[in-house]
């Protein structure tokens, strides 16, 4: 009886597979922190300029299991001298089932990085402070907007390729 009530509440029947999403693990995949001009950088006055590059990738690990990786490269300079450089890859393993491939791809490009980002932000902030520098908090990233922008660029490239 409880099963029947569950099916009625979710609106599914036995022929339909219910969409599933779950986080299985978050972990640091790779990390590098460099202070190329130490210890002199700590003696200089500096006005930092922060350059951040961010990318996300995903791969299928097993049936309905995916790894999403958020890669962040952070270069902080002052007077055109690199003060420090951080390269971090924060990853997560996700269970995603019952969705069409395009919906899975969108989740891997938007939902998964949104979950991973606070972890990489904390990792970078901690590394910067342990490196002897003032705390650095990364601004939030809108992965939905990045995904939409990439889709528009791909569509424009396809239109350009078909018209030539």
Would residue 108 count as lying in a domain? yes
pLDDT digits (tens, 9 = 90+) for 107-132: 999 999 999 999 999 999 999 999 99
Higher pLDDT, 129 or 1: 129
Would residue 51 count as lying in a domain? yes
CB 96 within 8 A of CB 21: yes
Would residue 101 count as lying in a domain? yes
pLDDT of residue 44: 87
- d(Cα 32, Cα 124) in Å, to the nearest integer? 10
Confidence of residue 10 (pLDDT cuts 50, 70, 90): very low
pTM score of the predicted model: 0.81
Residue numbers of the domain that contains 113: 26-139
Question: Which of 115-119, 145-149, 153-157 bottoms out in mean pLDDT, i.e. has the lowest?
Answer: 153-157
CB 109 within 8 A of CB 56: yes
User: Does the bond joining 88 to the residue before it have cis omega, within 30 degrees of 0?
Assistant: no
Tokens of residue 37, six digits:
């001009």
How many structural domains is the chain composed of? 1
Would residue 89 count as lying in a domain? yes
Would residue 20 count as lying in a domain? no
Would residue 151 count as lying in a domain? no
Q: What is the CATH number of the domain that holds 41?
A: 3.10.420.10
pLDDT digits (tens, 9 = 90+) for 18-28: 999 999 999 99
Residue length of the chain: 164
- d(Cα 144, Cα 146) in Å, to the nearest integer? 5
Would residue 157 count as lying in a domain? no
| 141 has a pLDDT exceeding 70 | yes
Would residue 2 count as lying in a domain? no
Strand partners, 21: 96
């Amino acid at each position: 009886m409880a099963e029947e009530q569950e099916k009625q509440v979710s609106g599914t029947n036995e022929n339909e597979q219910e969409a599933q999403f779950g986080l299985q693990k978050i972990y640091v995949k790779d990390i590098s922190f460099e202070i190329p001009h130490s210890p002199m950088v700590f003696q200089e006055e500096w006005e930092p300029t922060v350059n951040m590059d961010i990318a996300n990738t995903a791969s299928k690990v097993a049936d309905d299991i995916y790894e999403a990786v958020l890669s962040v490269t952070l270069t902080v300079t002052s007077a055109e001298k690199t003060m420090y450089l951080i390269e971090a890859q924060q990853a997560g393993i996700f269970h995603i089932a019952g969705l069409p491939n395009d919906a899975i791809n969108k989740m891997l490009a938007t939902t998964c990085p949104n979950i991973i980002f606070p972890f990489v932000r904390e990792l970078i902030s901690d590394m910067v402070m342990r490196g002897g520098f003032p705390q650095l908090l990364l601004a939030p990233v809108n992965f939905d907007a990045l995904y939409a922008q990439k889709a528009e660029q791909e569509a424009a490239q396809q239109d350009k390729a078909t018209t030539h």
